[in-house]
Chain A
């Protein structure tokens, strides 16, 4: 009996010691330290992102009065609604058109700023970033006044040239143009600053070599600048696509989805259905419909990022 006890102790001690040693090793490992350091952030993400996301999935499976489980019933219902498909179409038009123009304008302006002598460049950079720095809800209010149906400042100005009045937010086509314009105005500076950073990292020698080879302006852009900026263009475009798809404030303030639902996008229609119509499960289903679209975009981003990592 005594022997057995002694035997147990002699076995247990080295095990505990080995455990302590293992823990020490684990703590010394870089990956463990990294995990511990990111743990607060992970917890925050779980609390602020994962939980609400799961909760919205739960909501999307309930009936209108939130008392009965209906599975995918809300999605089935949505697929039968013309307005839903109108919103899908409009969200795509809105996001793709806005991102293309933001990228194009950002690219052109970044080149202009890049060519400004270093002394005055900071001032221009600061000024061009202003639209991006002002909270969009505030700047959109200013646009709302500019587009005001009855007292539009734009129409007042155009009247001097005998043009107009243009129904900026009263006609479906003009209303779509207006919301896209404001989104481009707000988002283009982000592209500009990203592209400017990318431009600055292109080695000057490449342009010199291209010049020696007799490359013209267009060839320098096509064969030197664009390949060097490829990654940043892809990441910025895809990132912006996600943000633009999920936009709410600009459309909500400028047109609230009208006229005749012709400017609704996912977020604004989800708000209309969920909050204004007191059908929270259906609103949750509308906003969740963005997930597969945005997930595809996110996969592209991550693939691009990892590819970039491998190349470097």
Chain B
């Protein structure tokens, strides 16, 4: 076998020729000239909703010449929180990741500030609600951009027929499709009376008192309606106030009118309660109604999503935003920002909302009146008031206005629902307050 050997002269000549070709050759842009970008998105409950995100990302990637990789991460079993915790600890992972409610603050030190893109987005889409500011901003720095996908309001979803029959309340009249609410009479007192009437009628309201988010969110909104804060915005423990006492008294009466097993309800229990036809109301985004539309259409036809009852300090509804955030260790921050801007365009947001059947909520004031909420049914208009089109209630999150890192502990430990249960189960008011005070003091550690 012969092998051709290169002598020294030939080698030098070949190298020089190759270098000359490389230097003089014109720049040819590669297929992925702007690099790679990986993203971890929340895996949507609604079948097919992920496709809208995929299409939007691909559309952007083709235009910007970026190689993209999307991982849809489920929130089942807290998988998305586990992924965020692992990536944060390892300082490695996706460039861009979807973070639920409290997580931008929890990882504030590891996130790339996004003021430069947030300001033009707000100019185009309108102001964001207070809850988004509270959860997405820290010391004037935007930690993340509110994501339309996964964001939701957990308002009352009422059975029109049962509420009319047992409590004499016409929720469609209070919250007419296509018009502003006429809900001045819809107060916490009316709500309690309606709950008692429906319980007597054998169709109690289905409001959980467990430790998962649905239960905590409802308790949070009612506490705020009474002006009750466990920890104030400065970080002082404010458990022993009349407002907190009033909230506990309210919940004691409410619990007496709820199904006896609400202490063990999780986020699926209220959905099942509505779809089974056993109850007159639950507090949820439209997912339970969407399941009813598929599995029990006669029940879905009687469902109406609307606003919360007003308490002495106002009308509050739980808003749980998701965020798109960029890790500070991301290798392609500019591309990540460019993608978020693309996903935050009004046309992109509308596509995502439509794909989710109206479930996803943009946090911007100019985008709460999209056609999809007007058209959804049966009954037509059932989701009209879901995105709070008239700002008729304050969108809030349980445990606010405590500093977010303390509030997250109150929320995760379900301190409010535990207080309600303890008091309703016979513990003395002052003992319950003392217990909660001790818990809150424990949440102060930094």
Contacts and interface: CB of A to CB of B under 8 A. Distances in A.
B261 A150 contact: yes
A83 B439 CA distance: 9
Nearest to A137: B77
A11 to B, nearest CB: 46
B255 to A, nearest CB: 12
B260 interface: yes
Interface string A48-76: 00000000000000011111000000000
A82 B405 CA distance: 21
A168 B265 CA distance: 12
A193 B248 CA distance: 52
Interface string A156-198: 0000000001011111000100000000000000000000000
A259 B421 contact: yes
A106 interface: no
B413 interface: yes
B85 A280 contact: yes
Contacts of B82: 275
B357 interface: no
A278 B102 contact: yes
B261 A278 contact: no
A258 B263 contact: yes
Q: Determine chain B's interface SS by DSSP, over half rule.
A: helix
Contacts of A272: 412-413
Contacts, number: 93
B260 A167 contact: yes
A275 B106 CA distance: 11
Contact of B409 (A82, A171, A271, A279): A279
A149 interface: yes
Contact of B421 (A64, A66, A67, A260): A260
Contact of A170 (B78, B263, B276, B408): B263
Contacts of B413: 272, 277
Interface in B86-130: 89, 102-103, 106-107, 109
Q: Determine chain A's interface SS by DSSP, over half rule.
A: loop
Contact of A277 (B210, B263, B412): B412
B281 to A, nearest CB: 15
B264 A280 contact: no
B385 interface: no
Interface of A: 63-67, 77, 80-83, 149-151, 165, 167-171, 175, 255-261, 271-280, 282
Interface of B: 78, 81-82, 85, 89, 102-103, 106-107, 109, 210-212, 259-266, 269, 272-273, 276, 278, 405, 408-409, 412-413, 418, 421-422, 438-439, 442, 445-446
19 contacts: A64-B445, A80-B442, A82-B438, A83-B439, A149-B265, A150-B269, A167-B260, A170-B261, A170-B263, A256-B212, A258-B210, A259-B264, A260-B263, A272-B413, A273-B412, A275-B82, A278-B106, A278-B107, A280-B85
Given A256-B266, A258-B263, A276-B81, 4 more contacts: A150-B273, A260-B418, A275-B82, A280-B85
